[in-house]
Amino acid sequence: MDSESSISGFYSWTDTLKGVYYGPGSIATALPRLLNTLKIKKALIVTGKSLHDKTDVVNKIENLLKEQGAYGATFYEIGQHSPIAGIRRGIELFKLHQCDGIVSVGGGSPVDASKAILYNLQKETGGPTLFQIAIPTTLSAAEYTIGAGYTDDNGNKVAVSSQSLAPAGIILDAELTLATPERLWLSTGIRAVDHAVETLYRPLIPVPVKALCYTALADLFTYLPQSKANPQAVDVRQKLQLASWMSLWPTKLEKYSALGLSHALGHKLGATYGIPHGITSCLTLAPTVALKAQLASQEDKEHLAKALFYLHQPSTGSIDGDVRQLSSLIHRLVVDLGLQSTLSEYNVPNQDLPKIAAGALGSPDDPDLSRVVDMLKGL
């Protein structure tokens, strides 16, 4: 069997995930159910400072945990890109309050930091990896993956990965996203677009998952502008949370499969230059898709071109033209959402671009290096 072909493959669920609950107001019943299912007796809440200090979201979660007699403590020192110092402090607090699970609340940083905390605790004890319940308030979709990224003491991105690190429970309650800042909400929506697009040409992904990505793209293109126009529309927000889920559907693969160039560039740009991951996708995805019209295999181009049908756009008459048209549509969505920016706005020096490109491609000798550098010069 040729596992590289789109008509051959394998599909399974992540080992850990026990359930996804979704719907406005679902937190009130879903959290007690998951605590019971996972037998969590005392939870550490892991969240961000802004969410803790400027909204009542964390307070709601604390009260629910207290009602269940399962509240341990709240840790809100997790910064953007999950610095290692915060993870170490989270581990200390977890031990101090004798917690046996984590409830993460917020965007990708608290979710990834929670994975890193649980990963390091498991290394210390040698026992099983303890459980995380993820309650996302952005569209970053970190809750659906088995991997985590955090930033070491030197500012480098470090990755850990294990089937047991996938959150064991996920609650998608759109009411909890109302306090999420507009730029963060919409830019992580573009991050979800990035997940869906790059999954179309990601190796080893089974066909049914690609079909979910097309549906995710259709919904993201439809509901992101609606959410910008009417930020208080909870039903639109809930549909976007479901689209984010479909954009990065939990999948157990036979071997590691990275997403693609846009994500790889985002990882190199994010922590080093302090660019939020949602914004890195706003910068890199459309140009990456345009580059795919030149460099991708015929099969990958066909997968990308097919997206036009789901976006209710006519074909240009050629596969390459359709891929370029998809790139243009992504760019227009970024602009219409008010998310267009440049590398210079984040003080990324031109002299760093070859290093960024080489890091994303995995080698300074990659034959596509010059094309990627040229692409970055245009950002």
Number of domains in the chain: 2
Helix (H, G, I), strand (E, B) or coil at 140: coil
> Are 199 and 168 in a shared domain?
no
Q: Has residue 10 been placed in a domain?
A: no
Both 293 and 237 in one domain: the answer is: yes
Q: Note the pLDDT tens digit of each residue in 139-180.
A: 999 999 988 877 777 777 778 888 899 999 999 999 999 999
Q: What is the CATH number of the domain that holds 91?
A: 3.40.50.1970
Quickly list H helices, the chain.
27-38, 49-54, 57-67, 84-96, 108-125, 182-200, 207-229, 234-247, 261-273, 277-295, 298-305, 307-310, 319-336, 353-361, 369-377
Average pLDDT, the chain: 91
Q: Does the residue 7 lie in any domain? A: no
Q: Residue 76 carries which DSSP code?
A: -
349 within some domain: yes
CB 286 within 8 A of CB 328: yes
Q: Is the pLDDT of residue 2 over 70?
A: no
pLDDT value at 261 more than 50: yes
Q: Where among 177, 204, 226 does a domain terminate? A: 177
The yes-or-no verdict on residue 185 having pLDDT over 60 is yes
**Are residues 131 and 43 part of one domain?**
yes
The predicted structure's pLDDT at residue 198: 97
307 and 274 belong to one structural domain: yes
| Beta bridge partner(s), residue 102 | 44, 132
Condensed to tens digits (0 to 9), the pLDDT of residues 186-203 reads 999 999 999 999 999 998
Q: Residue 157: which residues within 8 A CB-CB, separation 6 or more?
A: 81, 149, 150, 151, 267, 268, 270, 271
In degrees, rounded to 5, the angle at the alpha carbon of residue 263 between the alpha carbons of residues 288 and 57 is 125
* In a domain? residue 1: no
- CB of 126 within 8 A of CB of 171? no
In a domain, 360, yes or no: yes
How far, in Å, CA of 74 to CA of 77, rounded?
9
Using alpha carbons only, what angle is made at residue 21 by residues 111 and 180, rounded to the nearest 5 degrees?
Answer: 50
What region, left, alpha or beta, does residue 149 occupy, with left being phi > 0 and alpha being psi -120 to 50 degrees? Answer: beta
Domain boundary pick from 153, 177, 201 = 177
Check pLDDT > 70 for residue 1: no
Kindly state whether residue 301 falls inside one of the protein's structural domains: yes
> 258 lies in a domain?
yes
Q: Are residues 252 and 223 in the same domain?
A: yes
CATH number of the domain enclosing 293: 1.20.1090.10
Structure tokens at 245: 């889920």
Range of the domain at 37: 19-177
154, 177, 200 - which closes a domain? 177
Residue type, 286: A
pLDDT range class, residue 3, cuts 50, 70, 90: very low
